[in-house]
């Protein structure tokens, strides 16, 4: 099928699918989850082979993918996500009678989704972008990632089967394959209404530019990763030095460091930097090099490290092992806060298990860092409560630089729930107003529509008198169920 | 002050203002409303003089402006708009304990607002964009519209006075003046975080392009008007022919046709087109030419009409009177649906009291129209309920082309409330996911932030255990107050 046909069918499917009842849409999503579960063995085998990720991880990722689908099925079934809002008429208002106005969210139309190489399941074919778009009522045209073509195609077939079993038009989901040109053509297509993307800055930004320069611009939700800085403070660090070093190293090296929330930057007070770097050094020695997703990513990782090894500002706490096949060796370099502040290059992401440890002296150093810091998916603070209370100005500034602020634990391991925010200020994403993980991800693919004086018989269920769906609504400014 | 100083002060003010309690923010907004009310006489005099709009209209517009401010003050005081969402921790979850995650909306930062010439008050200095940004917690740098400089400056002084009386930093609101270059520089400034605009397509689109091409792109909420088509159907039209013609003409000519929601396009069934055009002709004859906002707008109106008068496809039901000073004469031309469909030029907005009456034959004609129609702020259907029920496919298509769908009355007269949607698919706005009128306008200037395992002492009030603000929150997926 050529793209015009694909989009035409998606658009035709949209005109039916957007009006599907919440129950039927939820049933369809659950059908996808069932089919993935039923094919767990085959999917895990394929995804492990294509991603070089271990079975435990892929099994867990499939569980998470299925969990996500169920979250959106529940959200759709419950129904309040449409933000139903009713301002009743007032025929007696002077000088002019007041009309009856009812507003709700309505899906945008066909959405183009690009999968991520580093999550062959949870951020790919039936991942968060696809499922939240389908949940909103948007057909999806999904471009399979060339790093895991078989997994992608197979999961795509599960979605298509779920459509068939649910007696829904095939155009609701289409799996396409291709390279950069295909991706650009998808975003350029006049019938595309939004784009979901997880991947590199260069690819995400280029799609953002294409979408903004269309005759009719469309939104691009691109999650492009970040360095996810951790700020450590002396009191807490002194108390938990070894466990914190260990949990840092394990977050850094998890999945060969191939996570959007991988902590590539850690700020350490000078008074403890030697002890902390020793503890890290000890923890990191035990971590063997692990295979990366593919040759190209391993090459980029080593290329970036080779360039950094030429920089005199860096002292290497852990020099990377020589490149062997597609394995990534963990690596860590120390730098003074003054040197770090002197060059933006030092906050560029190195995709893989490399981090920079920045040694600071004072609160003023950290304020300077916070002011210079690029937008991040996450920022983590390891501090005792009194330390946090003493650093109010810093925290206030850091809030402006991230989508999620952590006070315990590590940034990797993104919970899928209602409150998760996975999206931060540019350049971590192209749209800090959105999240690509968690329930609110559905809102990316909808827009409000208001109906004025629409006869009851024609109103969508969500807006009818008597609230037949039993959803939470804002009526005359008050929440009512 | 140069722009760097202005933005620096706005950014500094932001770091305090964003943390202001809901109560103090609401008090500040109400203080603005009070000062506008206290200066009603002076403001109305100035605005009438500068806009050529009659006193009744300007008085009403000031009332509406004050009403808007009170709506946002109430919204902020009530507090639930921040979408507080809490996923509590579960330390016993296997295989990994679950963190405590709490999400809410947080303001974007300094916002640049451009006022509209056609609403010197309600869409200008203390208009919906400024007030919704202030309500969200964003400082505003406002560029006064050159069509009403004195009104703009005076209202700006009221806002600054309200800041002073509320003991808030002056940087929360700055009034600047200048031309196109100044507007571009404001949007280009690195500290600007979003843009609100109401005006022409060419100006709005140019700001959108500038914002998208910044090193750090920012959102532009530009409301650029539309032709707001009315679709009439034979049963309803036959029953109410004269009153509908009258209400159409009065909406078309209200305020010399200078509304974003002015109905510039009306579709009429062939069987009734002669009778309807006679009724319109009769109604329109009684309407005298009215002064437009300024010379430039009157010139553009007559230039557009002169060009249209060269088109052989048009039959003029009401030829415009010869240009006299800055007055606009109402005008109306008839065209067949086939001719209308043949050229996109026929759906370009003519700013002023001109409309095109398109004569159609069949449902198929209207489906073709719906498919070709550009994005609109509003679409109106004048039909009996059985007629609406018979045109489900058409309504389904039209929903995709507008932000508000009306079934009675006229598109002019935009209610300010909770359910209003004033924003439609491109090119009527640059962002169909947003509204520039009504309570939801506040959401344009905020983004989500999640706090993971934040100590209670540090959490914002909206997210603390025990819900000290008594707002509606989503806790573990359930609405709770």
Whether pLDDT at A439 is above 90: yes
Q: Is residue A412 part of a domain?
A: no
**Chain B residues lying within 8 Å of A98, measured CB to CB:** 415
By the CB < 8 Å criterion, does B39 face chain A?
no
By the CB < 8 Å criterion, does B439 face chain A?
yes
Q: Is residue B424 part of a domain?
A: no
Q: Is residue B353 part of a domain?
A: yes
What average pLDDT does this structure show over A327-333? 95
Q: Which of A77, A374, A448, A458 to mutate to test the interface with B (most CBs of B within 10 A)?
A: A448
The radius of gyration computed from the CA coordinates of chain B, to the nearest angstrom, equals 24
The CA–CA distances, whole Å, from A129 to A223, A390, A436, B150, B478 equal: 11, 40, 7, 49, 23
Rounded to whole angstroms, the Cα distance separating A276 from B431 reads 48
B94 and B239 co-located in one domain = no
Q: Which of A93, A94, A450, A475 to mutate to test the interface with B (most CBs of B within 10 A)?
A: A450
What average pLDDT does this structure show over A89-105? 95
Contact criterion met (CB < 8 Å) for B447 and A432: yes
A220 and A244 co-located in one domain = no
Contact criterion met (CB < 8 Å) for B433 and A447: yes
By the CB < 8 Å criterion, does B427 face chain A?
yes
Distance from CA of A368 to the nearest CA of B (A): 15
Of B223, B334, B349, B402, the active-site residue reads B223
* 3-state SS assignment for residue B309: helix
B43 and B144 co-located in one domain = yes
By the CB < 8 Å criterion, does B440 face chain A?
yes
By the CB < 8 Å criterion, does B94 face chain A?
no
pLDDT digits (tens, 9 = 90+) for A342-401: 999 999 999 999 999 999 999 999 999 999 999 999 999 999 999 999 999 999 999 999
What is the CATH classification number for the domain harbouring B383? 3.40.309.10
CB-closest option in A103, A417, A454 to B407: A454
A241 and A343 co-located in one domain = yes
What residues of chain B, 236 to 265, have a C-beta less than 8 Å from chain A?
none
By the CB < 8 Å criterion, does B106 face chain A?
yes
* 3-state SS assignment for residue A409: coil
CB-closest option in B99, B419, B426 to A87: B419
By the CB < 8 Å criterion, does A420 face chain B?
yes
User: Beta strand A220-223 with A194-198: parallel, antiparallel or unpaired?
Assistant: parallel
Q: Which of B12, B59, B403, B448 to mutate to test the interface with A (most CBs of A within 10 A)?
A: B448
Listed residue (B446, B417, B443, B421) closest to B71, CA to CA: B417
Contact criterion met (CB < 8 Å) for B452 and A426: no
pTM over 0.95, yes/no: yes
Contact criterion met (CB < 8 Å) for B433 and A446: yes
A235 and A263 co-located in one domain = yes
* C-alpha angle A445-A446-A452 in degrees, rounded to nearest 5: 170
Residue B83 belongs to domain spanning: 3-224+432-480
By the CB < 8 Å criterion, does A480 face chain B?
no
Contact criterion met (CB < 8 Å) for B479 and A458: no
**Chain B residues lying within 8 Å of A453, measured CB to CB:** 406-409
The answer to whether ipTM exceeds 0.95 is yes
By the CB < 8 Å criterion, does B64 face chain A?
no
Distance from CA of B434 to the nearest CA of A (A): 7
Torsions phi, psi of A107, nearest 5? -65, 150
Rounded to whole angstroms, the Cα distance separating A244 from A71 reads 32
Contact criterion met (CB < 8 Å) for A458 and B404: no
**Chain B residues lying within 8 Å of A10, measured CB to CB:** none
Q: Is B223 a catalytic residue?
A: yes
A135 and A62 co-located in one domain = yes
B241 and B216 co-located in one domain = no
By the CB < 8 Å criterion, does B376 face chain A?
no
* DSSP line for A81-113: GG--EEE--BTT-SSSPBPPEEEEEEE-S-EEE
B159 and B45 co-located in one domain = yes
Q: Is residue B411 part of a domain?
A: no
By the CB < 8 Å criterion, does A409 face chain B?
yes
Listed residue (A340, A349, A352, A345) closest to A427, CA to CA: A349
pLDDT at residue B94 in the model:
87
By the CB < 8 Å criterion, does A89 face chain B?
no
CB-closest option in A419, A446, A476 to B86: A419
* C-alpha angle B115-A450-A421 in degrees, rounded to nearest 5: 80
Listed residue (B479, B470, B459) closest to B79, CA to CA: B470
Contact criterion met (CB < 8 Å) for A450 and B474: no
By the CB < 8 Å criterion, does A404 face chain B?
yes
Whether pLDDT at A409 is above 90: yes
* Mean pLDDT of all residues belonging to chain A: 97
A265 and A165 co-located in one domain = no
Contact criterion met (CB < 8 Å) for B457 and A385: yes
Contact criterion met (CB < 8 Å) for B109 and A400: yes
Contact criterion met (CB < 8 Å) for A448 and B427: no
- What length is written for chain A? 481
- pLDDT by residue, tens only, chain B of 481 residues: 799 999 999 999 999 999 999 999 999 999 999 999 999 999 999 999 999 999 999 999 999 999 999 999 999 999 999 999 999 999 999 888 999 999 999 999 999 999 999 999 999 999 999 999 999 999 999 999 999 999 999 999 999 999 999 999 999 999 999 999 999 999 999 999 999 999 999 999 999 999 999 999 999 999 998 999 999 999 999 999 999 999 999 999 999 999 999 999 999 999 999 999 999 999 999 899 999 999 999 999 999 999 999 999 999 999 999 999 999 999 999 999 999 999 999 999 999 999 999 999 999 999 999 999 999 999 999 999 999 999 999 999 999 999 999 999 999 999 999 999 999 999 999 999 999 999 999 999 999 999 999 999 999 999 999 999 999 999 999 999 9
Distance from CA of A478 to the nearest CA of B (A): 10
- Find out whether B420 and A101 touch, Cβ atoms under 8 Å: yes
B278 and B345 co-located in one domain = yes
pLDDT at residue B288 in the model:
92
**Chain B residues lying within 8 Å of A419, measured CB to CB:** 85-87, 101-103, 450, 474
CB-closest option in A400, A419, A452 to B450: A419
Contact criterion met (CB < 8 Å) for A109 and B400: yes
Q: Is residue A103 part of a domain?
A: yes
Q: Is residue B274 part of a domain?
A: yes
What residues of chain A, 189 to 218, have a C-beta less than 8 Å from chain B?
208-209, 212, 216-217
Contact criterion met (CB < 8 Å) for B109 and A402: no
Distance from CA of A295 to the nearest CA of B (A): 31
Boundary (domain end) residue, out of A406, A423, A444: A406
Torsions phi, psi of A474, nearest 5? -100, 110
pLDDT at residue A286 in the model:
86
- The whole-angstrom distance between residue A276's C-alpha and the CA centroid of its chain comes to 31
Q: Is residue A159 part of a domain?
A: yes
Q: Is residue B287 part of a domain?
A: yes
What average pLDDT does this structure show over A437-444? 98
Count up the domains in chain B and report the number: 2
* 3-state SS assignment for residue A405: strand
Q: Tokens 């580093």 — which residue? A: A118
Active site residues of A: 223, 260
pLDDT at residue A477 in the model:
96
Rounded to whole angstroms, the Cα distance separating B192 from B72 reads 22
CB-closest option in A402, A419, A477 to B87: A419
B52 and B170 co-located in one domain = yes
Cβ contacts below 8 Å, chain A against chain B, sum to 206
Q: Which of B60, B97, B450, B459 to mutate to test the interface with A (most CBs of A within 10 A)?
A: B450
What residues of chain A, 339 to 368, have a C-beta less than 8 Å from chain B?
none
B197 and B255 co-located in one domain = no
Contact criterion met (CB < 8 Å) for A19 and B396: yes
- Find out whether B110 and B11 touch, Cβ atoms under 8 Å: yes
What is the CATH classification number for the domain harbouring A22? 3.40.605.10
């Amino acid at each position: 099928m050529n793209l015009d046909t694909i989009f035409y069918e998606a658009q035709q499917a949209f005109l039916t699918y957007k009006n599907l009842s919440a129950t039927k849409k939820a049933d369809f999503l659950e059908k996808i989850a069932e089919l993935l579960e039923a094919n767990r063995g085959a999917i895990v085998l394929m995804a492990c082979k294509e991603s070089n990720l271990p079975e435990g991880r892929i099994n867990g990722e499939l569980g998470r993918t299925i969990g996500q689908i169920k979250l959106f099925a529940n959200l759709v079934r419950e129904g309040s996500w449409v933000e139903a809002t009713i301002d009743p008429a007032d025929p007696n208002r002077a000088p002019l009678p007041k009309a009856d106005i009812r507003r709700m969210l309505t899906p945008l139309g066909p959405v183009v989704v690009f999968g991520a190489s580093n999550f062959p399941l949870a951020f790919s074919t039936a991942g968060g972008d696809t499922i939240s778009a389908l949940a909103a009522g948007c057909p999806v045209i999904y471009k399979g990632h060339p790093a895991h073509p078989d997994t992608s195609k197979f999961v795509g077939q599960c979605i298509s089967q779920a459509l068939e079993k649910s007696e829904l038009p095939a155009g609701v989901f289409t799996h396409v394959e291709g390279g950069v040109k295909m991706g650009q053509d998808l975003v350029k297509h006049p019938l595309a209404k939004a784009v979901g993307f997880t991947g590199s800055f260069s690819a995400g930004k280029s799609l953002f530019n294409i979408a903004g320069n269309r005759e009719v611009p469309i939104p691009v939700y691109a999650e492009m990763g970040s360095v996810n800085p951790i700020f450590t403070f002396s009191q807490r660090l002194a108390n938990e030095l070894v466990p914190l070093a260990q949990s840092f190293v394990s977050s850094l090296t998890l999945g060969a460091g191939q996570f959007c929330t991988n902590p590539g930057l850690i700020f350490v007070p000078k008074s403890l930097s030697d002890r902390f770097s020793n503890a890290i050094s000890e923890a990191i020695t035990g971590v063997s090099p692990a295979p990366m997703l593919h040759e190209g990513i391993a090459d980029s990782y080593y290329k970036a490290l080779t360039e950094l090894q030429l920089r005199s500002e860096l002292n290497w706490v852990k020099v990377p092992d020589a490149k062997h096949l597609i394995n990534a060796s963990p690596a860590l370099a120390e730098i003074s806060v003054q040197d770090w502040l002197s060059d933006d290059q030092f906050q560029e992401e190195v995709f893989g298990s490399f981090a920079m440890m920045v040694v600071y002296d004072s609160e003023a150093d950290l304020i300077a860092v916070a002011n210079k810091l690029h937008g991040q998916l996450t920022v983590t603070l390891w501090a005792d409560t009194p330390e946090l209370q003493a650093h109010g100005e810093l925290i206030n500034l850091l809030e402006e630089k991230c989508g999620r602020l952590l006070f315990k634990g590590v940034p990797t391991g993104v919970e899928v729930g209602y409150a998760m925010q996975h999206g931060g200020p540019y350049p971590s994403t192209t749209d800090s107003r959105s999240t690509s993980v968690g329930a609110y991800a559905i809102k990316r693919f909808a827009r409000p529509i208001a109906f004025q004086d629409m006869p009851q018989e024609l109103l969508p269920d969500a807006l009818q008198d008597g609230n037949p769906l039993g959803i939470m609504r804002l009526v005359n400014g008050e929440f009512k169920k």
